[in-house]
Amino acid sequence: MTITLATLNAKYIHAALGLRYLLANLGPLRAQARLREFTIHDRPLDIAEALLADTPRIVGLGVYIWNVEQTQALVELLRRLAPELVIVVGGPEVSHELDDQAWLAQVDYVIRGEGDRAFAELCARVLEGRRPLTRVLDGGLPDLDALALPYPLYDEADLEQRVLYVEASRGCPYRCEFCLSSLDKRVRAFPLAPLLTAFDELLARGARQFKFVDRTFNLDIRRSAAILEFFLARLRPGLFLHFELVPDRLPDALRELIARFPPGSLQFEIGIQTLDAEVGARISRRQRLDVTFANLEFLRAQTHVHLHVDLIIGLPGEDAESFGRGLDRLVAAGVQEIQVGILKRLRGTPIARHTEAFGQRYEPRPPYALLANDAIDFATMQRLRRFAQVWDSFWNRGDVPRMMRRLWADGSPYARTLAFSDWLFGQLGRVHAISLVNRARALARHLIEARAVPVAEVEALLEADFEAAGRPSPTLADGGRRRGKREAPPKRQRQWLR
């Protein structure tokens, strides 16, 4: 193959949509090109071997925050092993602040921004012996009407084993300073008819999971309604759709369609990020919170949508208590999943303008997460980092919902879960890489020992959680039920709770 397109995905289940766009739009060169996907868990040496086995003249690499360090190691190997190889990189991580990335001196070309057209043009020039004199090329904003759609490039293994990433539009009209989409000049939409035809073909081939990567799926209500109507007309077992929604924009035209989807078929990712109005204004985050919560109530009470809501720890000027109040408010609103993220200073984002004023200190290496600021010191940030892991593994995964609700009984979900996170870290020295059974047993111990919940009640909650998931439940060693307090548990119970 003359051209090899490659990237390192975070997990195998993820499929590289960007590379498929590049391959689909290579024109006459497409027959000479190959797509190779790896994961960040593969060794760079093994990846280099696989790439060079194709003896390509050009290698294009997609670079993201999750794979930049592994990609750097790969580039260093390729440069030593094949000095004649033309190495091209593109992607969000190499589209900004290039002067701070010394390793880019080892690549031949960097394509900034959208490379759907620019990569094909570059490859043609290189192969014709007309190499550009400029190393850094601007991908510009390709005409979406003229782009070849990449969806036929999802193969049978992708359809069976992976999440299919799709998009109906590019860009975002909002200017939230922590997000790279704040740099977008405008929102552009793909022509609807060919897009729906491509989705219909995927469905006919057996596709069941569609994850839309549009930043604002419900910006254009007519287009959003048309897409929802398309899938409603093609409902089938296992169909799952993920959309990212603007939370305060849900007119009746969309509400009626959303309410018609059956359980398990729709997930909405809703970026709340902060419920502190002053913090939101500081980072150019515009949202009408009263309308947002009215929409959340509608979705919770009158639809079967799974709600995935995002909150960020460490925004300039927001302390831990303010974050906690926001989380508690979302729990009270009944959302099923709250993704807690630590603020990251992504390359090129305007959030950097607050660094000095609010003492924002970030990790110098990916993922560039916040270490501390004037409102949250490093020790507290470490506690909150562990809290985020505990919240995800104990609540978001949905394995032990009854036990978690008992933990929060008559208290703050944030405060109670933070206390449990501290306790768990004190017991095990970690809060990650814990099996489901051991997580359940740890939470049971905490409820009994720290919250004084009767053993029999904890055992009943544990059994109910496991039975609801169709799993065999961990039980007391002697199979008995004991009532009362936990002050002096029998030896067999201590073994179960260990």
Same domain flag for 169 and 136: no
Residue that terminates a domain, selected from 314, 346, 376? 376
Same domain flag for 298 and 348: yes
Q: Specify the pTM.
A: 0.90
391 in a structural domain? no
**Tokens encoding 291:** 């309308």
- Indicate the number of domains in the chain: 3
Tell how strand 136-138 and strand 164-166 pair up. Answer: unpaired
Q: Give the CATH number, domain containing residue 112.
A: 3.40.50.2300
Residue type, 113: G
Same domain flag for 136 and 163: no
Same domain flag for 370 and 325: yes
Residue that terminates a domain, selected from 144, 167, 190? 144
382 in a structural domain? no
381 in a structural domain? no
Same domain flag for 71 and 102: yes
Same domain flag for 170 and 101: no
Same domain flag for 229 and 210: yes
Same domain flag for 184 and 132: no
Same domain flag for 307 and 254: yes
Residue pLDDT, tens place only, 328-357: 999 999 999 999 999 999 999 999 999 999
Q: What is the pLDDT of residue 497?
A: 33
496 in a structural domain? yes
Same domain flag for 369 and 471: no
Neighbouring C-alpha atoms within 13 Å toward the C-beta of 48 = 19
33 in a structural domain? yes
User: Could you read off the pLDDT tens digit of each residue along the chain, which spans 498 residues?
Assistant: 899 999 999 999 999 999 999 999 999 999 999 999 999 999 999 999 999 999 999 999 999 999 999 999 999 999 999 999 999 999 999 999 999 999 999 999 999 999 999 999 999 999 999 999 999 999 999 999 999 999 999 999 999 999 999 999 999 988 999 999 988 878 999 999 999 999 999 999 999 999 999 999 999 999 999 999 999 999 999 999 999 999 899 999 999 999 999 999 999 999 999 999 999 999 999 889 999 999 999 999 999 999 999 999 999 999 999 999 999 999 999 999 999 999 999 999 999 999 999 999 999 999 999 999 999 999 999 999 999 999 999 999 999 999 999 999 989 999 999 999 999 999 999 999 999 999 999 999 999 999 999 999 999 999 999 999 999 888 643 333 333 333 333 333 333 333
| Domain range for 425 | 397-498
Q: What is the pLDDT of residue 1?
A: 82
Same domain flag for 304 and 434: no
Q: Distances in Å between the alpha carbon of 175 and those of 15, 149, 179, 282, 400?
A: 28, 28, 8, 11, 37
Q: What is the pLDDT of residue 475?
A: 63
Q: Distances in Å between the alpha carbon of 7 and those of 25, 341, 373, 438?
A: 17, 24, 34, 35
Q: What is the pLDDT of residue 473?
A: 84
Residue that terminates a domain, selected from 144, 162, 184? 144
List, in sequence order, every beta strand (DSSP E) within 209-334.
Answer: 209-212, 240-245, 266-273, 306-313
359 in a structural domain? yes
Same domain flag for 25 and 174: no
Determine the Cα–Cα distance for residues 135 and 68; give it in Å rounded to an integer. Answer: 19
Q: Give the CATH number, domain containing residue 232.
A: 3.80.30.20
477 in a structural domain? yes
390 in a structural domain? no
Residue 26 is classified by DSSP as -
